[in-house]
Amino acid sequence: MNDNRYRIRVMRREEVDLAMEWAAQEGWNPGLHDADCYFAADPKGFLIGLLGDEPIATLSVIKYDDAFGFLGFYIVKPEYRGQGYGLQLWKAGIDYLQGHNIGLDGVVDQQENYRKSGFTLAYRNIRYEGTGGGKAPRQAGIVELSSLPFETLAAYDRPFFPANREQFTRAWISQPDGHALGVMQDDRLAGYGVIRQCRNGYKVGPLLADSPALAESLFLALKAHTKPSDPVFLDVPAVNPAAVALAEKHGMRVSFETARMYRGEIPDLPLARLFGVASFEIG
């Protein structure tokens, strides 16, 4: 396909809102303030394909550092699918991340296509859906994350991701319509979690903790900030049986799953302490 009306460029900030809207139409249920947080991670990491002046395709290629990037928001408007426009945008995104290990969370039926582009399956992520409300546990140690020095949080978070994501984390923990909590044990941070309002209900993520008991305390404390009528979602790595058990213990059911894949070495992450993924779109 060679259409000289088709061009690809970096998105402006307001165009990221369009990607969010398309994601909502695809049923991905983005958070109300995801655009601001994602844009903070890499303002040059959003690409748009235009046919004339009409936006017809989006892709995010967040460059966290010189070695790792994450790909998401690969969406082509339905009436333009199958015509090569998305593939051109995909190639432009891969070029932007040239020399980087690239991660993505792809829908399961696209795994084979991603394999053809050099991606390897690491594990499945499972989205669980339940209901909100409940009481926060009376466990000593639950603290407002904002009460801790950011450096303490950044040091705790660093092993859980293949690259430094401090720019994203600063925005993520302080977003409107969200809540961020930590849990202390022996005078040190032993876990943290964030819950944010989405188009439909709330999502918990990330949820990181040094033990299943601490993860459960954080989860319940975060969920207590919602109403019993609110849907609550938790995206867990299927390879962490304790995370699966946490979701199932609290009556959550599977609603979706993705394939976490990498185009390069599969990072050695402490998945046994990762109970909830921050975002399928940027990791």
3-class SS at 49? Answer: strand
pLDDT digits (tens, 9 = 90+) for 86-112: 999 999 999 999 999 999 999 888 889
Instruction: Provide the residue range defining the domain that includes 164.
Output: 127-276
Alpha helices in 75-177 (DSSP H): 85-96, 111-116, 150-157, 166-173
Do 91 and 12 share a domain, yes or no? yes
Please list the residues that pair with 70 across neighbouring strands.
Answer: 62, 103
pLDDT digits (tens, 9 = 90+) for 207-233: 999 999 999 999 999 999 999 999 999
pTM of the predicted model, to two decimals? 0.96
Checking if the pLDDT of 1 tops 70, the result is no
Is residue 219 within 8 Å of residue 225, measured between CB atoms? no
In a domain, 282, yes or no: no
Do 131 and 261 share a domain, yes or no? yes
Do 257 and 135 share a domain, yes or no? yes
CATH code where residue 72 lies: 3.40.630.30
DSSP sequence for 127-153: EEEEE--------TTEEEGGGS-HHHH
Do 99 and 132 share a domain, yes or no? no
Checking if the pLDDT of 54 tops 70, the result is yes
Measured distance CA(195)–CA(278) in Å, rounded: 10
Question: How many domains is the chain built from?
Answer: 2
Is residue 43 within 8 Å of residue 72, measured between CB atoms? no
Measured distance CA(143)–CA(119) in Å, rounded: 39
The dihedral of CA 7, 9, 15, 18: what is its sign?
Answer: positive
- Residue given tokens 């966290």 in the structure block: 64
Measured distance CA(100)–CA(58) in Å, rounded: 20
Is residue 236 within 8 Å of residue 216, measured between CB atoms? no
CATH code where residue 179 lies: 3.40.630.90
Do 71 and 165 share a domain, yes or no? no
Query: Among the listed ranges 1-10, 121-130, 172-181, 241-250, which one has the minimum average pLDDT value?
Result: 1-10
Give percent above pLDDT 90 in the chain. Answer: 94
Do 132 and 41 share a domain, yes or no? no
